[in-house]
Amino acid sequence: QSQLVESGGGLVQPGGSLRLSCAASGFTLDGYTIGWFRQAPGKEREGVSCMRITGGLSNYADSVKGRFTISRDNAKNTVYLQMNSLKLEDTGIYYCAARPSTLFSVCLLPQLYNAWGQGTQVTVSS
């Protein structure tokens, strides 16, 4: 059965770092686009970062550019999100999602993804 599982969330102080993992099972990520999304209480789900696995082309929301980095380990069939210089407004539930690679310019739109993980909580608090 195809599945995505997020891990690595937790509680961190402002300015700290976390690395989230998205492990795929039941299928190989080659040929897919992977997106990271987050949802804070009372807010809409928003795209954070995305990557076309084949070739590694990536994109970021303006709010995280320069602080977050998306990467993949093909041998482990896993995508990562390295989050540095965390801010209070980064708090939320983080999800990874997958879709067959198509037009890259729309890779931060959550409605275009049809396979989602269960989410992992990230809390930035002093």
pLDDT in tens, the chain (126 residues): 889 999 999 999 999 999 999 999 999 999 999 999 999 989 999 999 999 999 999 999 999 999 999 999 999 999 999 999 999 999 999 999 999 988 888 999 999 998 999 999 999 999
| Count of Cβ atoms closer than 10 Å to residue 119 Cβ | 16
Would you say the C-alpha torsion 109, 111, 112, 117 has a positive or negative sign? Answer: positive
25-40 pLDDT, tens digit per residue, is 999 999 999 999 999 9
Kindly report the backbone phi and psi dihedral angles of residue 74, in degrees, each rounded to the nearest multiple of 5, phi listed first.
-65, -35
Structure token pair of residue 22: 């998205």
Q: Answer yes or no: are the C-beta atoms of 93 and 120 closer than 8 Å.
A: yes
Q: How far is residue 60 CA from its own chain's centroid?
A: 10
39-52 pLDDT, tens digit per residue, is 998 999 999 999 99
Structure token pair of residue 70: 């998306």
